[in-house]
Amino acid sequence: MTGSDTIAALATARGESALAVVRLSGPLAVGVVASRFTNARLAEAPSHTAHVGWVTDARGQKLDQAVVYSGHGVVDVSDEVVLLLMHVLSLDFEQLNDRVDSAVSKQQVEQALTLMHKRITTRQPMAYVLGTSVFAGLSFTVDERVLVPRSPFVQLIDQAFQPWVNMSQVRQVLDLCTGSGCIGLAIAHYFDHCRVTLSDLSSDALAVAAVNQKALNLTARSQCVQSDLFDDLSGEYDLIVTNPPYVSEHEYQQLPEEFSHEPKMALVTERGGLEIPVRILSQAVDYLTDHGHLLLEVGFYDQALADAFPQVPFVWVDFGFEADEAGDGQGICVFTRSDLLRFKPHFDEFLNHVS
């Protein structure tokens, strides 16, 4: 491949092509980009798994066929290729679509091949390989100190949390278990009347959140606070959003290798994945304004949480089929302060029970 080759060719492997679908913000952004990557055959497989046969790289090396999991903020392998090209060519998604016939240099080809090789051999999520991820249309620095941004909160932000919350009346927001800060900083970016507290137990995670806070020019409207849930927080919030650890140890051991690169403390909690979510349900009432709301994400543990509390009429956000197609997931429940107060005895009883 030479400097006269095009972006479409750089995204091309022999005889393969596909539509690339990338969620950048709100509705699906669909672009026709050849998902054929030079010297690497990419073929989709069920359950977000793809078989990647690296036929030969730019230096003539050969790698055995590998299986990679593409569930970290992307739908499939073609999405990973698009993100890789955006990074290597310093283009956003629209620019990439507009310039599929533009020339690429030999150095860019070699850089892309090197990064793809690292993705396959280390099994790091593509976001870690690139050092960046896109969430709600914004770019976030990420590394192994934080989870790769991925959450159906992106849809709620896109629809201004309607019909659950009237954002015009929200002033103080808490992003609990913030990680990279992606949810809270996206709220601060799109709702500039809000002041957002980014809280996490991990000082490493907060260091990453601070980098993103500065990069997005949001230091005046957001703050980072280290706290074990609510222990070191004070004041009241109109809105608390949280994507806490909610994976059981048993399930964690069954996850694809890519998850082993993420901080375990951000994924796993005790009592079958319910310990931290229920602690939040129990304690949040003391940190909400009278008309405040808690939005708690528990992913595919939504049924387990509901089953643990048959007396509690959980209200779940319906993301519909689009959420599954976008790889955003599910499982965000909505509580008003009055409902949290009403059902607090049930949450406390669960936490006080010695298993």
Q: What does the pLDDT read at residue 93?
A: 78
**What is the block-wise mean pLDDT of the chain (355 residues), using blocks of 10 residues?**
46 31 27 30 32 28 49 72 84 78 78 87 92 93 95 95 97 98 98 98 98 98 98 97 96 91 95 97 98 96 95 92 51 97 97 80
Domain layout of the chain by residue ranges: 7-130, 147-352
Distance, in Å, from the CA atom of 117 to the CA atom of 48, rounded to the nearest integer, reads 19
The answer to whether the beta carbons of residues 183 and 153 sit under 8 Å apart is yes
- Say which CATH superfamily domain 147-352 falls into: Vaccinia Virus protein VP39 (3.40.50.150)
Count of C-beta atoms within a 10 Å radius of residue 293: 23
Q: Choose among 118, 116, 98, 133: nearest CA to 37.
A: 116
Identify each DSSP E strand in 65-130 by its residue range: 66-69
Q: What is the pLDDT of residue 185?
A: 98
Predicted local distance difference test score (pLDDT) of residue 154: 94
What residue type is 332 in one-letter code? I
The CB-side HSE value for 178 (13 A sphere, CA atoms) comes to: 36
Query: E strands along the chain, which residues?
Result: 20-22, 29-31, 40-45, 49-54, 66-69, 132-135, 138-141, 172-176, 195-200, 222-226, 237-242, 288-297, 332-336
Residues in the chain: 355
d(CA 238, CA 354): 33
| Residues 6 or more apart whose Cβ sits within 8 Å of residue 345 | none
